């Protein structure tokens, strides 16, 4: 999730998949100048995020604009998410990584 242009992701130690796509997006975000942290997050944090996105092999980077029926931020994909979507797409295509 993104709040004040800082990216927060739950730590892999709580059971989320520490996959190649997630790791690559973190590397790209840092290269773009974003701060990325991995604290424990609450549902309150999620509801109050400016933006949220998910990562996955097939999905790449996909915006989440609602959670539990609540709009996140403006209810539209935000600028940081769009930038990461573009950066990941460029990276995947430049490295010959097959994308679906």
Could you tell me the pTM of the whole model?
Answer: 0.89
Indicate whether 98 pLDDT > 70: no
pLDDT at 15: 84
pLDDT at 97: 56
pLDDT at 63: 98
pLDDT in tens, 9-33: 999 889 888 889 999 999 999 999 9
pLDDT in tens, 33-61: 999 999 999 999 999 999 999 999 889 99
Closest CA to 33 of 1, 61, 6: 6
Indicate whether 100 pLDDT > 50: no
Report d(CA 28, CA 88) in Å as an integer.
7
């Amino acid at each position: 999730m993104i709040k004040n242009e800082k990216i927060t992701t739950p730590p892999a130690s709580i059971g989320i998949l520490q996959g190649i796509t997630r790791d690559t997006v973190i590397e790209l975000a840092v290269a773009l100048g974003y701060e990325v942290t991995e604290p424990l997050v609450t549902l309150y944090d999620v509801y109050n995020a400016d933006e949220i996105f998910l990562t996955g092999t097939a999905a790449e980077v996909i915006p989440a604009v609602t959670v539990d029926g609540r709009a996140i931020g403006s209810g539209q994909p935000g600028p940081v998410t769009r930038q990461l979507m573009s950066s990941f797409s460029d990276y995947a295509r430049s490295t010959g990584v097959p994308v679906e």
